[in-house]
Structures are given as C-alpha cells and as structure tokens.
Amino acid sequence: MQTASRSNNTLIDVPRGLTNVVVADTALGEVRGHEGFYNYREYSAVELAEKKSVEEVWHLLLRGSLPTAEQLSKFQPEAPPALHPSTQQALPIIARAAQAGDALAGLRTALALEGAATATRPLFDLNAEDREKDLIQLALKVPVIIAALHRHNTAQDPVTPVPGAGYVENYLRMITGTTPPQEHVAAVSTYLVAAIDHGFNASTFTARVIASTGADAASCLVGALGSLSEPLHGGAPSRVLDTLDSIGTENNIDAWITEKVQSGQRIMGFGHPVYRTEDPRSRLLKKVALGFGGPRVDFAVKVEERVPVLLELLKPGRALHTNLEFYAGVVMEQCGLNRSLFTPTFAAARVLGWTANILEQAADGKIIRPSARYVGPTAPQPVP
C-alpha cells in the first residue's frame, strides 16, 4: 500500500515510509547512500569524527562554521548546567519507576520534567537567539540526566562534572565515577561525532515535525527520544552484543547465521535503509575497535566477514553490510559502558544534531502536515 501527500487538493502517490521523498531543504548535512558517504555542512562527517571534538562539530551544525579558539571558548560551557531542583528531587523516583533500569525511558521523563520546571517557552514565541539558548541548555542536561539515572539504578551516588573537562570526558566521568582514560574519551568522542546527525532519520524527522508546530524545545527533544528507543532506530547496539554472545564461538558462526537467514530473521548490526554499500560509520568505528584489540573485537570481525559470504550463498545478489550499530556496541563496551547505556549514549550524540534541525525547521515557519489515503469502508453511510 502507498501513502499519499496533498498538493493543491490532489493526492499524490508516494512510497511507503516516504523512502527517497524530499520533504524539506536542509543545509546541515547529506547522506549519499550510493557512495557510502555523508557530510555535516561542507565537511566529511567521518573526517570530522577523526579530527574534531563534539563541541566543535556542534558549533558547526548550529552556527555554520567550525569555531576559532576564541569562539569555542565562548561556546563550550565550563560544565553542564545544573538540573532544576524539582528534577533533581524526582530522579530517584524516575530511576525506580523506569522498568529494568531503562535509562532512555527515564531520560524522556526527566527531560520533560526539566522543560516544565524551567518553563521552557514555545519556539513560536522566541527569537532565533533564545531558541538556540533553550535548546543548548536542555541538550547539555541530557548526559547529566543519563549519568544520574544510571548511578541511581546501580546504587551509586551521582557524580558532579568537572569544570573544563568537556562533553565526552564529563559524561564518562559522571557514569563511572572516575577520571576516564584518554583512549576512552577519544573513542567515545569519535562515536558521538559520527552519530550527531544522519539525514532525516526517524528521530530527526520527529523533532522537526514537532518543531514545525511551534512547540517548546523540551517537547521537540522528548518526542525525538521516543522514536529513538527501539531496534529499527537507535536500539540495536546492545542487541549486537547479544548476537555475538548468542553465537558464542567461531565454530558456531556459520550455523547461527544460516539459521537466521533461512528463517527470515534480522541480523542486528547489518543492513541500512539508505546505504547500498559499506556504511562509512561502521568502517570508522571498526578502526576504533581494532585500536583496542582483544578477543571481543577479533570475534566481531570474524562475524562481520562471514555474514556477506554466507548471504551470497543463501540469498545470491543480496548484499548486506555492517551499519553504525555493529561496532558501536563493541566500542562502547571497550570503554566501560554497559549495555543499558548504549542507546542513551547514542541519544547523547543525536540530541546535539536535533538542536540544529529544530532551529532550521523553526525558522521555516511552515507546519508539516501530510495527507493519508483513506482505505476504510465507503462513506457516507446512514448512521443506524
């Protein structure tokens, strides 16, 4: 079945899922799936991930240029802003209420509360400068909330961020309670920069739809978080490690993959709706993972190598490559993050990209309001 859009009251057939349908203009970035390439503004996103900090790339997306040293010092806060006292008081309750320590569910709840407690105003009523200010303040609180919820869930006292430590180092410090090795800071920074933005994916598009209504910044970010929580978008990294654990040993790889392919089940960490060649983010994070080395990394590489070989035998002509999530889970595990934190950590990256997309959409001033094709019973019928 096809969906439909309305132009001059005429319904136009479009592909299911809006695949390849252009719904807006953006100057933030582009994903060229047939080339295995994506960019943030005029720069290769992979090259930025290898060379620039999270703060520098966030400045690029928000303000259109990589910052000078002076611009960066003004843009980068000394430390994340403190949560509102009401949110701080509620965090232990939220942590207990989130089922099975679901940090992402807790994050959505706490961020919504933070928006309400700080009386975040509708974007419609704000100028561009105040919109950016609200979005930056809320986005900087995301890693603080994630870390605090994690510490509550693991019966550990929350950790205060260190002034001047930076986005990634403070995040890892607040999670673990210790000063992270620079190797871990560099690896997680590379991952976060690589994940900040990636075209009109489900969560980014959700944020833009909400922004188009003129809603407040917290509503836009919380709505985007809701679309980031499941395996088809954002929730796959932990399942990749579950897959590696399920396979167990090198001798089991072929049998396990064959059974999954023949039964039509998804192999987590493989395939992407846009890329028709190797996902450049996977290539980047594989390089980071190989820098750590060890049995887990070696085994992940072996699994990656066997999947396309077996798929060609079982389903000739059907190419399947690793995506961002495959090595993201491996890298985060190497950096001491447990699986419950994988998707929240992804959110700590993507929230920065959402801020830029929300600002761009709010400036447009046009509500996103597509149409649907009605396929129910013929109307009107007399009401009995």
Question: Model's pTM, two decimal places?
Answer: 0.91
pLDDT tens digits for 260-274?
888 877 777 776 667
Catalytic amino acids? Answer: 272, 325
Confidence of residue 277 (pLDDT cuts 50, 70, 90): confident
Backbone φ and ψ of 151, nearest 5° = -65, -40
Question: How many whole angstroms from its chain centre is CA 78?
Answer: 25
pLDDT tens digits for 223-238?
999 998 766 565 556 7
CB 383 within 8 A of CB 55: no
Rounded Cα distance, 60 and 348, in Å = 17
Which pLDDT belongs to residue 4?
A: 43
Identify which has the larger pLDDT, 16 or 343. 343
Name the average pLDDT for the chain: 89
Pick the CATH number of 237-333 from 3.30.499.10, 1.10.1490.10, 1.10.230.10, 3.60.20.10: 1.10.230.10
Which range has the top average pLDDT, 3-17, 160-174, 312-326?
Answer: 160-174
Please state the domain extents for the chain. Answer: 82-231+344-364, 237-333
Which pLDDT belongs to residue 2?
A: 43
Nearest Cα neighbor of 298 from 257, 249, 246 is 249
Superfamily in which the 82-231+344-364 domain is placed by CATH: Citrate Synthase, domain 1 (1.10.580.10)
Taking 80 as the threshold, does the pLDDT of residue 312 lie above it? no
CB 134 within 8 A of CB 119: no
The reply to whether 82-231+344-364 and 237-333 are identical in fold is no
CB 242 within 8 A of CB 292: no
Percent helix, strand, coil in the chain, to 5, is 60, 5, 35
Confidence of residue 334 (pLDDT cuts 50, 70, 90): very high
Over range 63-71, report the average pLDDT.
97
Which pLDDT belongs to residue 9?
A: 61
Rounded Cα distance, 159 and 293, in Å = 30
